[in-house]
A and B are shown apart, each in its own frame.
Chain A
Amino acid sequence: MKRIAIELGGVTVHARLYEDKAPKTVDLLWKALPLAGPLHHARWSGSAAYFTATALRVPGLAVENQVSFPYPASLCLLPTEGEIVFAYAQCQARTSAGNVWATHFGELEGDTGAFFALLAETQVKGVKPMSIRREEG
């Protein structure tokens, strides 16, 4: 099972990837890792923050295991935007044009409380650096 580690503001959380439900998306992400860059609060999607990577922007990639309202702790990708969406409360995948579908490709595991607080804090304090890496073993 492929797993990743996500670091934000000194807090590291771990996630498993859904190789069975979203194989093309997981493969795209796995090959792109490690990634580092700014995490922004959502402007259209509600209680969520998003991480953008050029390597994940593949407009032709079909949405897999599609969801519209990501649950907190779900990992979702908008392939048209190259955005990983991290919901921490009520959220819907949206752009200025309206509602969109997102690929639900993984799930955070364990205690996510401190991580969610940092996600919410990006609305109040602005962007934060995030890094994502493969978790081996």
Chain B
Amino acid sequence: MGRRIIFEVEGVEAAAELQEELSPKTTEAFWNALPLDTTLMHAKWSGEVCFFRPGPGLAGITELENPVTSIYPGTLVMRPRGTEALMAYGTGEYRWGIGVDYTTRLAKLVDNEETFLAVLRRMHEEGEKRIRVRRADGG
């Protein structure tokens, strides 16, 4: 079992497992950047997806690892340099103004997925929220 992280939005928590075998450099940098407490926004190009900015701790990760374009529900993906980390609650595909692009798989929800994604789904109606991300071991 890989290292686990905990997401929390509006008091709803969900555990995710880091995709360390697929993305060793990105997951290591993300782990070292925790804990995070930042703004979660709804995406405007990528569909049923919300995103946050992981911060300067990920700036050194310039390469994609095992790139994907579709963002599966409950999957956290990240752009190079940590400019955006995105999680889909429904149909998602990483896009921006001039088209489609790739992301690195970072983590996958393994606990309380349905309830957590329901909170993300409400963001299209309700607007931005705070998101907190921490190590599952309390670190």
- A and B interact physically: yes
Chain A residues within 8 Å of B, Cβ to Cβ: 40-48, 90, 92, 94, 96, 122-127
Q: Which residue of A lies closest to B91 (CB)?
A: A96
Output the least CB separation between B117 and chain A (Å). 15
Q: Which residue of A lies closest to B42 (CB)?
A: A123
List of B residues within 8 angstroms of A40 by Cβ: 124-125
- Label chain A's interface by main secondary structure: mixed
Output the least CB separation between A111 and chain B (Å). 24
List of A residues within 8 angstroms of B43 by Cβ: 43
Q: Quick check: A42 and B44 within 8 Å, CB to CB?
A: yes
Q: Is B47 an interface residue (CB 8 A)?
A: yes
Output the least CB separation between A93 and chain B (Å). 12
The number of A-B residue pairs with CB atoms under 8 Å apart is: 50
Q: Quick check: B97 and A46 within 8 Å, CB to CB?
A: yes
Task: Name the contact of A47 in the complex, choosing from B44, B91, B128 (C-beta under 8 A).
Answer: B44
- Label chain B's interface by main secondary structure: mixed
Q: Quick check: A96 and B124 within 8 Å, CB to CB?
A: no
List of A residues within 8 angstroms of B48 by Cβ: 43
Output the least CB separation between B11 and chain A (Å). 19
Output the least CB separation between B100 and chain A (Å). 9
Q: Is B93 an interface residue (CB 8 A)?
A: yes
Q: Quick check: A41 and B42 within 8 Å, CB to CB?
A: yes
Q: Is B126 an interface residue (CB 8 A)?
A: yes
List of A residues within 8 angstroms of B3 by Cβ: none
Report the separation of the CA atoms of residues A47 and B49 in the bound assembly, to the nearest whole angstrom: 15
Q: Which residue of B lies closest to A42 (CB)?
A: B44
Report the separation of the CA atoms of residues A43 and B128 in the bound assembly, to the nearest whole angstrom: 14
Output the least CB separation between B97 and chain A (Å). 5
Q: Is B95 an interface residue (CB 8 A)?
A: yes
